[in-house]
Chains A and B, each alone.
Chain A
Amino acid sequence: MIKFIAYIALFIHHLAFSEGLSGSNVSTAVLDNGLKIIIKTDRRAPVFISQLWYKVGASDESQPITGISHMLEHMMFKGSRDYKSGEFSRIIARNGGDENAFTSKDYTAYYQKMHQSKLELSIKMEADRMRHLSFSDAELTKERQVVIEERRLRVEDNPNAKVYENLRLISFDSKGAYHAPIIGFQADIENYHLSDLRHWYETYYAPNNATLVVVGDVDPERVIEYATRYFGGYKANPNIDNNKNRPSIALNKQSRILKLKAKLPFYAISFHVPSLATTDSENKAYQLEMLAYILDNGLSKALMRDQQIVSGISVGYRLYDKFDTLFTISFIPAQGINSQNILQMIKIQVRELIEKPHLIEAELRRTKVQLEADFIFEQDQISTQSYYLGMLSSVGLKINKLLNYVARMNQVSTQDVANVAKQYLNPDMLNYVELIPQGIK
Chain B
Amino acid sequence: MKFLIILLLLTTQTQAKLNIMHWTTPEGAKVLFAQTKGLPMLDIALNFDAASSRDGVKFGLATLTNSLLGTTSKYHSQEQIIELFESVGAQFSTHSLKDMAIVSLRTLTRQDNLQVALNTFTEVVTQPVFKNKYLNREKKQTLHSIRAIKQSPASIASLAFDKAVFAGHPYEHTRIGTKASLANISTLDLTQHYQTYYVAKNLTIALVGDISKTKAKQIARQISHGLNSGKKAPSNPLVKMLKKSQNIHIEFPSKQTHLLIGQTGINRAHPDYYSLYLGNHILGGSGLTSILSDDIREQKGLAYSVVSYFTKMKSNGLFLVKLQTKNEQANQAQEVAIKTLENFLNYPISNQHLQDGKNNIIGGFALKIASNANILTYLSIIGFYDLPSDYLSRFTDKIRNVSAKDIQIAFSRLINMDKFIILSVGQAQ
**A interface with B by C-beta (< 8 Å):** 12-13, 15, 17, 20-29, 41-47, 77, 85-86, 89-90, 93-98, 100, 113-115, 118, 141-150, 152-153, 156-159, 217, 220-221, 224-225, 261-264, 301, 305, 308, 311-312, 332, 334-335, 362, 365-367, 369-374, 376-377, 379-382, 437, 440-441
Contacts and interface: CB of A to CB of B under 8 A. Distances in A.
Interface stretch (B61-69, B146-154, B338-346): B146-154
B90 A225 contact: no
Interface stretch (B2-10, B123-131, B166-174, B190-198): B2-10
Given A149-B325, A370-B89, A374-B89, A96 B367 contact: yes
B4 A89 contact: no
The 10 tightest CB contacts between A and B, nearest first, are A96-B363, A373-B89, A20-B7, A145-B301, A142-B301, A96-B364, A45-B370, A150-B304, A366-B86, A311-B144
Contacts of B37: 44
B359 interface: yes
A100 B300 CA distance: 20
Contacts of B3: 12-13, 15
B97 interface: no
Contacts of B355: 94
Interface stretch (B214-222, B249-257, B307-315, B407-415): B249-257
B151 to A, nearest CB: 4
A25 B40 contact: no
A427 to B, nearest CB: 27
Interface stretch (B11-19, B22-30, B51-59, B378-386): B11-19
7 contacts: A23-B10, A25-B8, A41-B8, A45-B15, A153-B324, A261-B253, A381-B373
Given A25-B11, A94-B360, A146-B297, A224 B4 contact: yes
Interface residues of B, number: 83
B363 A366 contact: no
B14 to A, nearest CB: 5
Interface string B356-367: 100111111111
A218 B153 CA distance: 44
A380 B367 contact: no
Contacts of B305: 153
Interface string B239-269: 0000000000001111110000000000000
Interface stretch (B199-207, B227-235, B282-290): B282-290
Contact of A149 (B1, B326, B366): B326
Contact of B144 (A47, A98, A334): A334
Interface in B318-376: 324-326, 355-356, 359-367, 369-373
Nearest to B355: A94
Contact of B140 (A29, A152, A334, A370): A334
A53 to B, nearest CB: 21
B88 interface: yes
A263 B153 CA distance: 12
B164 interface: no
Contact of A263 (B4, B15, B40, B147): B147
A113 B83 CA distance: 37
Contact of A264 (B14, B140, B147): B147
A264 B6 CA distance: 55
Contacts of B302: 145, 149
Nearest to B107: A373
A149 B324 contact: yes
B13 A369 contact: no
B14 A217 contact: yes
Interface in B270-311: 286-289, 294, 297-305
B356 A25 contact: no
Given A41-B11, A301-B79, A96 B86 contact: no
Contacts of B373: 380-381
A89 B9 CA distance: 35
A146 B324 CA distance: 11
A12 to B, nearest CB: 7
Given A144-B301, A152-B255, A153-B305, A43 B38 contact: yes
A282 to B, nearest CB: 24
B288 A89 contact: yes
Given A44-B36, A143-B301, A263-B150, A95 B363 contact: yes
Contacts of A96: 359-367
A114 B367 contact: yes
A23 B359 CA distance: 38
Given A13-B3, A96-B363, A440 B13 contact: no
Contacts of A217: 14
B324 A43 contact: no
B115 interface: no
B398 interface: no
Contact of B39 (A47, A86, A380): A380
Given A44-B39, A334-B140, A115 B364 contact: yes
Contact of B83 (A262, A263, A366, A382): A366
B137 to A, nearest CB: 6
Nearest to A220: B6
